[in-house]
Every structure is written in C-alpha cells, then in structure tokens.
Amino acid sequence: MALRGNLLVGQSGGPTAVINASLAGVIEEAKKHPEIDGIYGALNGVEGLLKEHLADLRAEPEETIALLPHTPSAALRSCRKKLSDADYARLLAVFRAQDVRYFCYIGGNDSADTAHRVGLLAKEAGWEMRVMGVPKTVDNDLAYTDHCPGYGSVARFNALATRDAGMDTAAMHRVDVVKIVETMGRNAGWITAATALGREQPGDPPHLIYLPERAFDPERFLAEVKAQVERGRGCVVAVCEGLRDAEGEILVSFKHAVGTDSFGHSQLGGVGNYLVDVIAEGLSIKARFDKAGTIQRACGVAQSGVDVAEAKMVGGAAVAAACRGESDQMVTLVRVSQSPYRCETSLAPLEAVANAERPVPDEFIAESGNDVTSAFIEYARPLIGGPLPRYARLKLAPVPKKAGG
C-alpha cells in the first residue's frame, strides 16, 4: 500500500544554474502521485526546516513552475549547515508534526550526508519516511554518477567565457600579453577543465590549463607561460581557485578567513590575482585576470539545455523512486549512449555518496599536467548542450606591401 503523507523538498549548498530545474522536476512528479498530499519546500534547506519555515509549493502558479527550470540559483534559498544531534532530533519532530513521509534533498556530498543521517534517525525512531538525494553541484565531484547536474551549465559558461576572453587576448596580446581565467573548483578541476571546450582549432585558447589534481610549481608555470608567449599570440591560462602546491596546501586563500562555513571549508580565491604578480615578478610581462566567481555558476544565459533537462529528470526520478518504496538513495546519471548522447537515471546509496569526492581522473589530464586529454573532451562535450554560437574567422589575405621600409 502506498505511503500517504506530505513531501518536503529542500536545496542545499552552492547554487547552480539548474538547481531549480530539479525543484521543478520534484514538484511536477509529486503532483502525479495521489499518495502525496502537501508539497512543501524548506526555506534555506535544513536551516529553515529547523525553524519550520516551510512553503506550500502547490500554491505556486503553473506559470511560475514552468519558469523555474530557466531560473538560476536556489529559489527555495540554500544553506551550508552541519547539524548537531539536537538538530537532527528537531528535524524529526518537524517531519512528524508536518506528516512528512517523503524528503528530497537537492545538494552535493555534504547534503547527501545530512539526508542519510536524517533517514537513519527516522528509521530508528520508527517514523516511516522515504529519503532521497537529488544530485547537484557545479564541482562535478560526486562519485557514483556520470556527472552532476549543474556541471554542464558552469562548463558551458566557462567554455563561452574562455573563448570570448581568449578572443579579447588575441586582439590585445601585445598589450595584455597573458590572461588568467580563474574558475571555481575547491578540490577538483572539472570546472577548469571545461574551459578547453571553447577550443575550435589547434592553438585556440586556453593555452595552458592547471588543475588542483596536479601540484602547482611556480617555476614550471613561468617556463610554460614564457614558452607560450614566445609563440607570439599571447597566452591564455585557465586556473582553478583550488590550486595546491607540492605539499597539497592551497596556493592562495583570502588573508582574512572570516566565516569559515560549518563544514570547515575556508574561503578560496585570489589565485588569478596572485599569478598576475608571479608573472610580473618572474617574467616582467603584463598579465590580467578574469574571475567570474559566482557569475559562472548562476548564469542564466549560459544554461546548457542538456543540463536543464537532466536536472529536471533527476528531480522527477527521486520522487518516482521514493513512491516505488526506495529510500536512503541518491539519484545518479548513467550514460547509456555516447552518440547520440543519452543518460538514464539510476540510484546509489546516500552513505556511499556522502562525503566522497571524485577528482578529475588521470586519463582526463594530459601528461604535461597543463592540459586535458581528448578523452575528457569526449566525456564533457555533450554536457554543455548544443555547440557554442558560431563566430567569424577572417582569412586576412595579405595585401602586397608597396611602401618599402
């Protein structure tokens, strides 16, 4: 017999361009199941849940739900909160009081951990509830899934942005010789690697790509930048904010680490700025850096159509699986076909997903350590949706010289 009660959905961790598509997927699928009464949203994830700040999502107009997939960032608002034992007990009290029988938590590995513990506690307490994780992270570092919804769009943004910034450098390389494009990525270089998807021809930017999966050596970096600059068309370098030195220490973190979040993550950033200085000191060459920051993860106009569709699909699949009786699982994506590209959903235990990380594997990183491989391109290309808009390339046929000199 179907488990009757309310469904609660929450969003957690850093926003993405498509986390609301997953929310729309959850809502639309929930509406198809008569055993689900209320469809509630937790405001600011578990933070709002602790305060019983819930929103009635059945009260939202159809038109709003239809716009959700194309609305970046977290419409229910998000949080980064590690819960205490007392917090978990409180959550359970709220679930019981609100008759929550279905809990879908959209987030990354920290959120999977939270959802797993919630599920355990409910089981111990004899409160029948189905707990499902919906994968979401621009970092693409969740294990057990081909990729994470949110990644395709941040990858598309960085492919577009690096191509554009690279064209800017191509035009200005005698003035702005080196351009650093700093991308997000705490522990994994997936986002930085995606800058390579902006290349169309050999020699196109980015010319160098540095991932946190390889120790960053300033001396080698300077030599590699110098060699590229000497080729005479400027040098575009993609770097990850989470670059590490040979000891595995973060290269640059903010001078003032205010408000380390409750999972103990410190504030990263500033690698681009730092490398501009390294290049000025080491090579006496002018560099500049672009750091799109949160713009890259919440960019509406760079949404990947594939990413939007998949984010919605995993949201729907979470509800469908819960209604089938599944619990304590995260929805995963399985690539069933590369050409044409197609993914289906599957499930993986929340406990396995929780706190696991998947760095960029060796086969996706060039031996040089400063580029990606064609295997990475093959993996990532379908995720950014359609091809990038076509640009003109002038032939620039030379006019014979006549002025002498």
Nearer to its own copies by C-beta: 1 or 403? 403
Q: Are 194 and 384 in contact (CB under 8 A)?
A: yes
CB of 193 to its own copies, least distance (A): 18
CB of 70 to its own copies, least distance (A): 7
245 is catalytic: no
The one catalytic residue in 56, 85, 110, 139 is 139
CB of 339 to its own copies, least distance (A): 26
- For 127, 137, 277, 329, 374, the CA distances from 248, given in Å and listed in that order, are 44, 23, 21, 32, 27
Nearer to its own copies by C-beta: 63 or 363? 63
Nearer to its own copies by C-beta: 47 or 351? 47
- For 80, 108, 271, the CA distances from 224, given in Å and listed in that order, are 38, 35, 17
Count of other CB atoms within 10 angstroms of residue 255:
8
CA 206-244-189 angle, to 5 degrees, is: 45
CB of 7 to its own copies, least distance (A): 12
CB of 300 to its own copies, least distance (A): 6
Q: Are 120 and 334 in contact (CB under 8 A)?
A: no
Nearer to its own copies by C-beta: 263 or 341? 263
Q: Are 117 and 131 in contact (CB under 8 A)?
A: no
CB of 177 to its own copies, least distance (A): 7
Contacts of 99 (CB under 8 A, 6+ apart): 5, 6, 37, 38
Nearer to its own copies by C-beta: 246 or 394? 394
Q: Are 222 and 155 in contact (CB under 8 A)?
A: no
Beta bridge partners of 334: 344
- For 72, 75, 108, 309, 366, the CA distances from 377, given in Å and listed in that order, are 25, 32, 24, 21, 12
CA distance 274 to 279: 9
Nearer to its own copies by C-beta: 59 or 246? 59
Single out the residue of 107, 287, 261 nearest to residue 182, CA to CA. Answer: 287
Nearer to its own copies by C-beta: 254 or 341? 254
Q: Are 137 and 112 in contact (CB under 8 A)?
A: no
CB of 256 to its own copies, least distance (A): 3
> E-strand spans in 95-177?
100-107, 130-135
Q: Letter for the amino acid at 311?
A: A
Q: Please list the active-site residues.
A: 139
